[in-house]
Chains A and B, each alone.
Chain A
Amino acid sequence: MSERVTAERVKVFAAAARVPIQDDAAARAARAAEPTVRRLDELALQLPLETEPASFVAIARKGARTQG
């Protein structure tokens, strides 16, 4: 299975963020992030178009209102 998160990718993202990163650190970061990215890939998320981060607030308040 090919890696989703590579050291090369981390170096590109770090350069875009203007954060210096050594080769070994980029490789370490890629190894650390890989399981998380793969775990979320497994979900194959198909979020409704209208879902935004603040949707959470509305759902939390609805969940609170239904308390006994």
Chain B
Amino acid sequence: MSDPALLSLTEVAAQIRERKLSSVELTQALLARIEHWQPRLNAFVRIEADEALAAAREADAELARSGPKGVLHGVPMAHKDMYYFAGKPAGCGSKIREGWIATQTSSVIRRLQDAGAIRLGALHMVEFAMGPTGHNAYLGPARNPWNTARITGGSSSGPAAAVAARLTYAALGSDTGGSIRIPANFCGVTGLKASYGRVSRANAMPLSFTLDTVGPLCRSAEDCALIAELIFGEDPLDPVTAGAPAWNEAATQRTVGSLKIGVPKRFYVDDLEADVAAALDDTIALLRKLGAKTVAVDLPDPGAIDAAAYLVLSVEATSFHAPWLRTRPQDYTPQVRNRLESGLAYSAVEYLEALRWRGPALAAHLEAIGDIDIIVAPAARAVAPKIADTDPAGGANPDAIKEMSRFLRPMNYLGVPALVVPVAHSAAGLPIGLQLVGRPFGDETLIALGRALQQASDEHLRVPQLQ
């Protein structure tokens, strides 16, 4: 039999329920891959092999005794180390939170547990999710499975590396300024940044309460939908989800022929590397072939939206961290401390004007897109750069690092959903993804298009080989 670690989340979940595979078999298969890959990738911060196997044995026994607990019965998973599990550490990629034990469980983790998922361990992340590269001066960098000299992207560095290398069937990440989409793009996996307010952030580490979103990194859009169906919807513990619509599976069935796709005229298409530009052109051609109507669209000043997002993120992050900046500033790595100190530079009026502009900026965006369903745009202007060239502690240009999020932060400010799907590989063998950007609460439409693209291409099925 082929390696069950290589199956998709949707496949293994079904095969466990149908008793074709056991949870113990899957857990052993993943642990075997983790043993080989972890020394090369640094994707995990904790591997809980014995506990995972014990949970898998219990899941198999429960299945035999009383049937599946839910759609993820017995499926092993690991998530970014910022989701709290009561009784477990959640280091948040930091020295400050090293050894801290959570007393509550994140609402999203609880929903996955209620569906039967079991825990494999915890995944690498950038310190307090403050950085787009995957470097972490405290933990060491995570490495890209397609080329371990390259960055994973961040801040959901471990989730992207682990999903790409088939060390977990899916992983939750977080996206405040691109932190799901950057690593999904660079590692060749599918990542969903949910609409703001559709997924609970309760008992997960915060970075910016205005911009934080929770979402999955998976092997396909189909797998993202499986996770989304479980985690989307209202949660009394997170007030921003009040009135949030639950996942609407029927809306994921829209046909490509019913979709109007917008292609930006500027900003997102400026100064692209040739491989990325070709991938965008090829995908637009494929969308037309699949029956989509494509139109050029002039989006309102993304640079200004990016600046407003950056200001809001900076101030809110500094506000969260002010108590530690007062008492333990030496326990941050210098790069993260520098970023937090920059949040002190903005006035209250500047912050509140940036915050108040969010609604009008979204209104202008909606006016510009008219009845467009989805915008297709690059996630980055180039493929994953080298770790050595982008090390914030090694003198890399901070502006160049900040540029990595320029196509992505506007969506956090606008609160709209975005799905990154791998669509090509560069001549050097590195993944190239595109982001599909939806209307507010239009997450399901993104899955519909992502699924269609992945039915027409096998890019998402490519698996990196251990070098």
Count of interface residues, chain B, beta-carbon cutoff 8 Å: 52
B311: nearest chain-A partner, CB-CB: A36
Question: CA–CA, A45 to B353, complex, Å?
Answer: 8
Question: CA–CA, A58 to B86, complex, Å?
Answer: 35
Contact call B363/A40, Cβ cutoff below 8 A: no
For the residues of A in contact with B, the DSSP-based class is helix
Contacts A20-B326, A47-B360, A51-B356 given; does A60 touch B338 at CB 8 Å: no
Contact call B346/A19, Cβ cutoff below 8 A: no
Question: CA–CA, A16 to B304, complex, Å?
Answer: 28
| Interface-central residue, B325, B352, B356, by most chain A CB under 10 Å | B356
| Interface-central residue, A19, A45, A47, A55, by most chain B CB under 10 Å | A19
Which B residues, 184 to 226, have Cβ-Cβ distances below 8 Å to chain A?
195-197, 210
CB contacts (< 8 Å) of A10 on chain B: these are 341, 344-345
Contact call B345/A9, Cβ cutoff below 8 A: yes
Distance in Å: Cβ of A10 to nearest Cβ of chain B: 5
CB contacts (< 8 Å) of B103 on chain A: these are none
CB contacts (< 8 Å) of A40 on chain B: these are 304, 307-308, 311, 350, 353-354
Question: CA–CA, A58 to B307, complex, Å?
Answer: 23
Count of interface residues, chain A, beta-carbon cutoff 8 Å: 42
Distance in Å: Cβ of A5 to nearest Cβ of chain B: 5
CB contacts (< 8 Å) of A62 on chain B: these are 366
Question: CA–CA, A28 to B310, complex, Å?
Answer: 16
| Interface-central residue, B301, B337, B352, B358, by most chain A CB under 10 Å | B358
Contacts A64-B440, A68-B371 given; does A29 touch B304 at CB 8 Å: no
Contact call A36/B307, Cβ cutoff below 8 A: yes
CB contact between A51 and one of B342, B344, B360 (< 8 Å): that residue: B360
Contact call A29/B303, Cβ cutoff below 8 A: no
B366: nearest chain-A partner, CB-CB: A63
Which A residues, 26 to 64, have Cβ-Cβ distances below 8 Å to chain B?
26, 28-30, 32-33, 35-37, 39-40, 42-43, 45, 47, 51-53, 55-64
CB contact between B342 and one of A32, A45, A57, A61 (< 8 Å): that residue: A32
* A-contact bits for B348-387, CB 8 A (1 contact / 0 none): 0010111111111011001000010100000000000000
CB contact between A63 and one of B353, B398, B439 (< 8 Å): that residue: B439
CB contacts (< 8 Å) of A43 on chain B: these are 301, 304, 357
Question: CA–CA, A55 to B373, complex, Å?
Answer: 23
Distance in Å: Cβ of A31 to nearest Cβ of chain B: 9
B308: nearest chain-A partner, CB-CB: A40
Indicate if B176 sits at the interface (CB-CB under 8 A): no
Contact call A29/B415, Cβ cutoff below 8 A: no
Contact call A51/B304, Cβ cutoff below 8 A: no
Indicate if B106 sits at the interface (CB-CB under 8 A): no
Distance in Å: Cβ of A55 to nearest Cβ of chain B: 4
CB contacts (< 8 Å) of B267 on chain A: these are none
Which B residues are within 8 Å of any A CB, using their own CB? 195-197, 210, 243, 245, 258, 260, 301, 303-304, 307-308, 310-311, 314, 318, 322, 325-326, 329, 337-339, 341-342, 344-347, 350, 352-360, 362-363, 366, 371, 373, 398, 415, 439-442, 445
13 example contacts (A-B, Cβ-Cβ < 8 A) are as follows A5-B346, A17-B318, A33-B346, A36-B307, A36-B311, A40-B353, A43-B301, A47-B356, A51-B360, A53-B358, A63-B440, A67-B441, A68-B260
Q: Report the 10 A-B pairs with minimum CB-CB distance, sorted nearest first.
A: A33-B345, A55-B359, A64-B441, A39-B307, A56-B359, A60-B440, A32-B342, A63-B440, A29-B342, A56-B358
